[in-house]
Amino acid sequence: MSDRYTETTSVSWFGRIGRSIGGVLFGLILLVAMIVLLFWNEGRAVTTARSLAEGAGIVVSVPSNVIDRANEGRLVHVTGNVSTDEPLTDSAFGITTTGVRLERNVEMYQWKETSESKTETKLGGGEETVTTYTYSSEWSSSPINSGSFKVPDGHQNPAMNIESRNFQVENGRLDAFTLDSQVLGRIGGAREVPVGADVIDAVRAAVGAGQPVSAVDGRIYIGFDPTRPRVGDYRIGYELVPLGPISVVARQQGTGFAPYQTQAGDRLLMVDTGNVPAAEMFADAVTGNTIMTWVLRLLGLVFLAVAFGLLFAPLGVVADVIPFLGRIVRMGTGLVAFALAALVGSATIAIAWFWYRPILALGILLAGVAVFYAVGYLGRKRGAAEPEAAAAEGG
């Protein structure tokens, strides 16, 4: 079920100018933050790459069924089967099983607000915005605060009294080695575990006798009709990280494992599900580092463009006295913001590389300058083409 509410708001030209000036301050803060992020990201990437290269060169693969004291303090690679004597129990709902970690996933049927706005600039620089708020009910794994809705009346969400929770064994074994929470917590491979009608009585006792409880499609359902959920209904499913083979790269410490401090700066502790060779684990880590580096680079560049856009926003607002002129100005400032983001971003990355690894820095800087001039050239070409097109239309 869903419904809608529409609101129309207006802002005067002077109000928009004041708002854009406030945006300039936020743009300056965002600009500095993105420069810091880009610089830090390059240092993080270099440190991680060097640490992984260092680890790959010194790691020693050892058997899991015997502990060699000669490897104390060394970076070792071990594969074997996880075992434990501890059961996994969600006592609230009477679920007991065996594994590394039991994950209770709770969803509640709730109201959700979405909004869509359309803004039109009026002659004289004022702005009119029509916002449509849509309310629909859907399953959500986190509580939605209906008190912050534009129209809370008729869309109230009850408190989410049942929460998702993980139950993990405190200790385990990898054949002769012991495993603590820092290793166990890194083991993945969770699989869905269906629950049946045998847990209904325990669930009913936990939530109260007046609550209707059923088992539907391997999950617990708290509500009157699973085919027609109502706001406040719950569905609860479980996932289990099973016992089985894992691979660990870490410092051998006594009978267990600890992070290995590299000379490059990072602490290495890697855990994979299955029997994974050390070379493959390091290769996967290198790939992950590369992906993270590029994600943060792109994020930094995008928000640099946003920051410069905010700095130039007052120009577009001033020109909006004539809406057509405002659109032209914003198109130009958008190109300039993009060009400056490319220039400042690449310069920041280059300076960081000069600081952390100078060999490749010059190439990055030249690439950024090339993008800057290319965008500038396209902007000038487009600006020259517009008067010609206008003259042709007039003729």
pLDDT of residue 173: 97
- Is residue 146 located within the same domain as residue 260? yes
Summarize pLDDT for 178-232 with one digit per residue, the tens.
999 999 999 999 999 998 888 888 888 888 767 899 999 999 999 999 999 999 9
Q: What is the helix (H) or strand (E) element at residue 384, kind and residue range?
A: helix 361-394
- Is residue 194 located within the same domain as residue 64? yes
- Average per-residue pLDDT for the chain: 90
Query: Among 3-7, 11-15, 117-121, 310-314, which is the least confidently predicted range?
Result: 11-15
Report the 3 state secondary structure along 197-217: HHHHHHHHHHHCCCCCEEEEC
Summarize pLDDT for 221-270 with one digit per residue, the tens.
999 999 999 999 999 999 999 999 999 999 999 999 999 999 999 999 99
- Is residue 227 located within the same domain as residue 332? no
385 touches 78 (CB < 8 A): no
**In the chain, what percentage of residues exceed pLDDT 70?**
93
185 phi-psi bin (left φ>0, alpha ψ -120 to 50, beta other): alpha
pLDDT of residue 171: 93
- Is residue 44 located within the same domain as residue 73? no
Residue 333 lies in a domain: yes
pLDDT, greater one: 341 or 382: 341
pLDDT of residue 301: 95
Band of pLDDT at residue 316, cut at 50, 70 and 90:
confident
Q: Which domain holds residue 214?
A: 59-109+137-276
269 three-state secondary structure: coil
361 touches 348 (CB < 8 A): no
Residue 386 has pLDDT above 60, yes or no: no
Number of separate domains in the chain: 2
Residue 80 lies in a domain: yes
Query: Among 46-50, 120-124, 128-132, 309-313, which is the least confidently predicted range?
Result: 120-124
Summarize pLDDT for 83-114 with one digit per residue, the tens.
999 999 998 888 899 999 999 999 999 999 99
Summarize pLDDT for 32-78 with one digit per residue, the tens.
999 999 999 999 999 999 999 999 999 999 999 999 999 999 999 99
- Is residue 36 located within the same domain as residue 90? no
Q: What is the helix (H) or strand (E) element at residue 292, kind and residue range?
A: helix 278-319
- Is residue 267 located within the same domain as residue 352? no
- Please give the structure tokens belonging to residue 114: 């979405």
Q: Could you tell me what percentage of the chain is helix, strand and coil, using 3-state DSSP and rounding each to the nearest 5?
A: 45, 30, 25
- Is residue 46 located within the same domain as residue 64? no
